Chain A
Amino acid sequence: MTRSARWIVFWLGAGGVGVLIVLALLKMPSFGGLVHPYRELSVPAAIGRSSPNIVSSVNFDQRALDTLGEETILLGSVVGAAALLRPSKDEREQLDQDEGRVLEATKLLGYLLLPVTLIVGADVVTHGHLTPGGGFQGGVVLATAVHLLYVAGSYKMLRRVRPKSWYQVAEAVAAGAFVVLGLVGLLLTGAFLANIFPRGVLGDLFSSGTVFYLNVAVGAEVTSGVVVLLSGFLAQALSVREVR
């Protein structure tokens, strides 16, 4: 199609869809209404299981199957990206000898922030059931921490501290742990992904039962997944060369 034909088709459709959506939005419930059927149900359910972070309770307890699916989407995307980013038949990995210079200030800041970021990441993961955060968010922070080595140090250093195949195994084990925890629930109570661990006292680190352990599993999976993903992109950008 020519450019103008494409735009005509698009605007014909967009006009129709736009009218429909505007009409729909006029019928939406207004902000600040008093009717919240799901909130009425989910808040007591979360508090009843010692999980003050309602979002985490919804994600890892009340609707844990969705989170299992989402975590699996992440796993599939990482594996898919790794498959697409693999060196092709006429490409090889070659490391450059000269990697350029890093500013002293960058180095200092990087090495200072590295442990801080690791601790923050671990904190966000392990307190996911208590405070905002959780496995997905904390996992990304942890993976970022690892890559401060590249920013402050060098690509070679990153590759030494980050053996890709280990992270791939860790990714698989962590993703599998979520499913296995679900299957244990099925065996013990007859319900997949049932909350099987002791609920504890509201506000304690080891409370809210399975939510804590699922958060840790997702945190490990996201950390290793993001590391594997970035390693594919970094390799394509820095070390994979076409050979003839």
Chain B
Amino acid sequence: MSVDPSWLPPLGIAIPLVGACIVLALAKLAPRLVIDVVAMTTTVVSVGAMALLFAATSAGRVVTWVGGWTPRDGTSVGIVLAADQIGAGFALLACVLTACALSYTWRYFDDAEAHVHVLILLFMAGMVGFSLTADLFDLFVFLELMSATAYALTGHKIEEPRSVQGGFTFGVVTSLGAYFTLAGIGILYARTGQLGMPQIGAALDRHGMDALVLAALVLVLTGFLVKAAIVPFHFWLADAHAVAPTPVCVLFSGVMAPLGLYGVLRVSTTVFGGVLPAGSLHGTLLVLGIITAALGATLCLMQRHLKRMLAYSTIAHLGLFLVALATVTASGVAGAVIYVFGHAGVKGALFLMVGVLLARKGNVDEFALYCKGRDERLTKWLLPLGALALAGLPPFGTGLGKALSEESSGLIVLFVLVSAATGGAVLRASLRIHFGLGPRPDDTDVDTTKGEGEEQEGRFPQRLPATMIGAIVALLTGGLLVGLVPMEAIGEGAQRFLDRAGMLAQTLGGAPASAIGSVDVEWTWSGVVLGLLSAALAVGIGFVGVHFGLGRLRAALKTPLHVVHRLHSGHVGDYAAWLVFGMAAVGALFVIT
């Protein structure tokens, strides 16, 4: 059976919506098993559709004008979807991760009717739409669809005040960012009278750069930087991850936050690429990325609440992705995308393993779980392996992505240290929990959040359901495969992603997809050595952390750490203040660099 490729992008959006409506209609009528089967079938069909789309993009960008409003003389009133390998790859990633999350959820939420399934399917539709659209306002609509469903999923454990608080903080900060994005789109519309990214881009090329364009750039990027949890827009992420149901964390860390970065680069190249000096974009994103990576890694090392630890590791990695994207070269973009894919598998598996600990021990605190995990057969071996993969151990996809990213950005030390710190922190926790190494941790630091008192998720005292184990193994294998399977498509996709002239010609002028070169996305000897070095450093950090605690280090750094911890106060007013400060800083960075 052959499907016209231009059907696939709208199908990617429509299939999860139809599935969500069926689940909602059946919610009160059908037994739980039917709901699970319908939701799972929808996701699997979506995975198939997006895999077909990904395959189709190898022949060039797939352009679809919704409603048949194909442009005449280069103008159209309609909405255009344009999928290259990168966009289709993100859509596929969203569907695959959703399938894993749903598999893990199979026996998980007892009380919630079918609400969780509906929300997860709508969330998936939002992510697919966000990845595929080439219309700026449509991008905002799908950003909001992702957000609205994500807030409810975060606050789902309503018995816990902390959970509702985390959802609330997430909602306020992300909405604030989205309003600024909308304001920026309004300013761009006032200037150009267009909403499509290629159309605005072409119109801006004629007008040139001025204060209005700069303001629009800063405003539009704010919403995406909040989603991507880039410092100082990052505060919501750890609070939301700490309380959200574990399978939801997989989606947040694995694909939602990286999609924020995708939005940043898509908008700043397609819309503003013609007027924004390349050096200015490079400098701004590089500074933001380095600060985010460094702060995320530091805070990750300081956590004892396992979900917060993984959340800060996500922030650190998002910083690294941004550093690679900041090169605005095909090799940097390809490296970052492969890094995102590998990270999604590894981090997803780590989150689910923490979820298993929470389900069995009722606790996610590194200190309280000391020695308690000796009898866990699954996580005892897979958690340390996941930690090493997080640090970039070859041949995991994280290692390949890291190698390509550090090569193209040149910041080898940053990549090695940050990835080793995040892997080391997870390894330290695992050594304490599963192997009982080191003295019993005794920490009286008042600044760190403890991981006790989280509501136990599910009830599996004896045996884990096969669906849960399957999800963990699938994610870890996926993270491994990203590093083993040839990824030429991503190299070519990165070229196409940055080919602005080709995109404008194909969407507005109806030009056929042009042939385009590729960049090498293969292991190099230096990449393998640096990956092994990161993993070795992570082992070192893990063992040192276990035996000496962080007592001495923490004493030496007491004052600065105290300040950093106090900044992450959980007070939503603080977060909003930093958001506004961050906008001014981003604007200033664009002017300076």
Contacts and interface: CB of A to CB of B under 8 A. Distances in A.
Interface of A: 1, 6-7, 9-10, 12-17, 20-21, 23-29, 35-39, 41-42, 45, 58, 61-66, 68-70, 72-73, 75-77, 79-84, 86, 88-90, 165, 168-169, 171-173, 175-176, 179-180, 182-183, 185-186, 189-195
Given A23-B215, A72-B125, A6 B574 contact: yes
B129 A16 contact: no
A16 B583 contact: yes
Contact of A172 (B25, B78, B135, B210): B25
Given A27-B211, A179-B17, A41 B142 contact: no
A62 B67 contact: yes
Contact of A29 (B24, B65, B191): B191
Contacts of B66: 64-65, 191-193
Interface in B114-151: 115-116, 118-119, 122-123, 125-126, 129, 135, 137-138, 141-142, 144-145, 148-149, 151
Contacts of A16: 583-585, 587-588
B445 to A, nearest CB: 19
Task: Summarize A's interface: helix, strand, loop or mixed.
Answer: helix
Contacts of B581: 9-10, 12-13
Given A64-B66, A186-B7, A28 B190 contact: yes
Contact of A79 (B10, B65, B122, B190): B122
A218 B105 CA distance: 31
B221 to A, nearest CB: 13
A76 B580 contact: no
Nearest to B144: A73
**B contact patch SS:** helix
B490 interface: no
B21 interface: yes
B573 interface: yes
B116 A20 contact: no
- Top 6 nearest A-B pairs by Cβ distance? A80-B152, A16-B584, A191-B68, A37-B193, A176-B21, A13-B581
Contacts of A83: 112, 115-116, 119, 152, 156
A176 B25 contact: yes
B64 interface: yes
B580 A176 contact: no
Interface stretch (B300-308, B501-509, B538-546, B563-571): B563-571
Given A176-B22, A186-B10, A191-B68, A28 B152 contact: no
A176 B26 CA distance: 13
Contact of B573 (A6, A39, A65, A168): A6
A37 B194 contact: yes
A27 B69 CA distance: 32
B151 A80 contact: yes
A194 B65 CA distance: 10
B446 to A, nearest CB: 16
A81 B111 CA distance: 15
30 contacts: A1-B566, A1-B571, A6-B577, A9-B581, A13-B584, A14-B580, A16-B584, A38-B193, A38-B195, A62-B67, A64-B67, A69-B144, A70-B141, A72-B17, A72-B145, A76-B119, A76-B148, A80-B119, A80-B151, A83-B116, A83-B152, A86-B112, A169-B29, A172-B22, A175-B24, A179-B17, A189-B68, A191-B64, A192-B14, A193-B67
B4 interface: yes
A10 B195 CA distance: 31
B187 interface: yes
Contacts of A39: 193
A79 B118 contact: yes
B158 interface: yes
B218 A13 contact: no
B141 A1 contact: no
A210 B98 CA distance: 33
Contact of B210 (A27, A36, A185): A27
Contact of A17 (B122, B191, B192, B587): B587
A24 B158 contact: no
Given A24-B215, A190-B68, 6 more contacts: A17-B580, A72-B126, A165-B28, A168-B25, A176-B21, A183-B18
Given A10-B581, A29-B191, A165-B28, A65 B79 contact: yes
B212 interface: yes
Contacts of A37: 75, 192-194, 203
B76 interface: yes
A50 to B, nearest CB: 16
A20 B218 contact: yes
A75 B25 CA distance: 12
A13 B233 CA distance: 13
A42 B78 CA distance: 9
B155 A84 contact: yes
Contact of B212 (A24, A35, A168, A183): A24
B251 to A, nearest CB: 14
A172 B24 contact: yes
Contacts of B375: none
Contact of A41 (B21, B77, B155, B191): B77
Contacts of B119: 76, 79-80, 83
Contact of B67 (A6, A172, A195): A195
A54 to B, nearest CB: 11
B149 A80 contact: yes
B10 to A, nearest CB: 3
